[in-house]
């Protein structure tokens, strides 16, 4: 499959959406129109699933939570990500399966082999070419996210959960250093955007 698949990962308030928007601008600057999407969501079905997942009124166990994320992901891969990559386009996704491994695995304690095996089915084995992990301590991240307004269901989880999530992301990055670029998300957005652009350019050069 052609194209280039880039994902942004990291905990609440790390700056994923901010950096994604900057990257889209940088790509536009060199004449590349990227397909931008997010998880959960990105399709009409996924958007409905997202509402359920982020609803602070709802309680859910770890397995059904994971299965809902997986349902949204399966639809997104088939309807949006795979077709765009087959057209040779650049696809940028705000979160992808690494978030499930970090949140439902490291965070909630579901066994990684189970998550990985379902994820392989759900994605058809589609992995990002590049994953930008924005690493931030959860206290700072939750403070940033709180400035945005009412916390969603995940933002309400306790601090130790968010600390396990952060560690989970770092462990994933250590296992696949060639796919991950880990950036310190405490830096000013401009500096991080430059680091993101450098990582992306390394993948663009052979293509464009
Ligand atoms: N490098 C930075 N330094 C300080 N504040 C930042 C930085 N990057 C983003 N912010 C601010 O932090 C808040 C969260 O940023 P953003 O929404 O991009 O994070 P996110 O990772 O997408 O969060 P979420 O997981 O909740 O979607 C925003 O108000 C944003 O303006
Ligand atoms: Mg965001």
- Candidates 7, 17, 187: which one to mutate for ligand 1, based on the most atoms within 8 Å of Cβ? 17
Task: State the ligand closest to the CA atom of 154.
Answer: 1
Kindly calculate the radius of gyration of the chain based on its CA atoms and give it in whole angstroms: 16
How confident is residue 149, by pLDDT bands cut at 50, 70 and 90? confident
pTM of the predicted model over 0.85: yes
Q: How many CB atoms lie within 10 A of CB 46?
A: 25
d(CA 155, CA 148): 11
Tell the residue nearest (CA) to atom 28 of ligand 1: 144
Rounded to the nearest whole angstrom, what is the distance from the C-alpha of residue 106 to the centroid of ligand 2?
20
- Cα 42–chain centre separation: 12
Task: State the ligand closest to the CA atom of 21.
Answer: 1
Atom of ligand 1 nearest to the CA of 10: 21
At 71, list the tokens. Answer: 């349902």
Q: How many CB atoms lie within 10 A of CB 110?
A: 20
| Mean pLDDT computed over every residue of the chain | 95
Q: Is 70 annotated as a binding residue?
A: no
Query: Which pairs from 147-153 meet CB under 8 Å and 24+ separation?
Result: 150/56, 151/56, 152/54, 152/55, 152/56, 153/53, 153/54, 153/55, 153/56, 153/58
Tell the residue nearest (CA) to atom 14 of ligand 1: 13
Tell the residue nearest (CA) to atom 25 of ligand 1: 12
Report the range of poorest mean pLDDT among 56-60, 86-90, 123-127. Answer: 56-60
Which structural domains are found in the chain, ordered by start? 4-204 (3.40.50.300)
What is the mean pLDDT of the segment spanning 32-51? 97
How confident is residue 1, by pLDDT bands cut at 50, 70 and 90? low
What is the mean pLDDT of the segment spanning 3-31? 97
Q: pLDDT, tens digit, for every residue of 94-112?
A: 999 999 999 999 999 999 9
β-sheet bridge partners, residue 35: 91
What is the mean pLDDT of the segment spanning 128-139? 97
Q: pLDDT, tens digit, for every residue of 53-74?
A: 999 999 999 999 999 999 999 9
- Cβ atoms of residues 124 and 74 within 8 Å: no
Quick check: CB of 42 below 6 Å from ligand 1? no
Rounded to the nearest whole angstrom, what is the distance from the C-alpha of residue 208 to the centroid of ligand 1?
30
Quick check: CB of 194 below 6 Å from ligand 1? no
Atom of ligand 1 nearest to the CA of 20: 18
């Amino acid at each position: 499959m052609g194209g280039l698949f880039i994902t942004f990962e990291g905990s609440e308030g790390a700056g994923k959406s901010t950096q994604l928007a900057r990257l889209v601008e940088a790509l536009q600057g060199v004449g590349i129109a990227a397909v931008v999407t997010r998880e959960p969501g990105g399709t009409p079905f996924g958007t409905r699933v997202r509402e359920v997942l982020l609803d602070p009124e709802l309680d859910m166990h770890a397995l059904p939570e994971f299965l809902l994320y997986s349902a949204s992901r399966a639809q997104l891969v088939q309807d949006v990500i795979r077709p765009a990559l087959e057209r040779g386009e650049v696809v940028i996704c705000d979160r992808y399966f690494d978030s499930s491994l970090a949140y439902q695995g490291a965070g909630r304690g579901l066994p990684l082999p189970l998550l990985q095996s379902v994820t392989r089915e759900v994605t058809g084995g589609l992995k990002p070419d590049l994953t930008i992990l924005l690493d931030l301590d959860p206290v700072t991240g939750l403070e940033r996210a709180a400035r945005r307004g009412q916390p969603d269901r995940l933002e309400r989880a306790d601090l130790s959960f968010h600390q396990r999530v952060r560690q989970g992301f770092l462990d994933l990055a250590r296992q696949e250093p060639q796919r991950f670029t880990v950036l310190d998300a405490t830096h000013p957005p401009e500096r991080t955007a430059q680091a993101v652009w450098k990582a992306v350019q390394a993948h663009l050069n052979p293509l464009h």
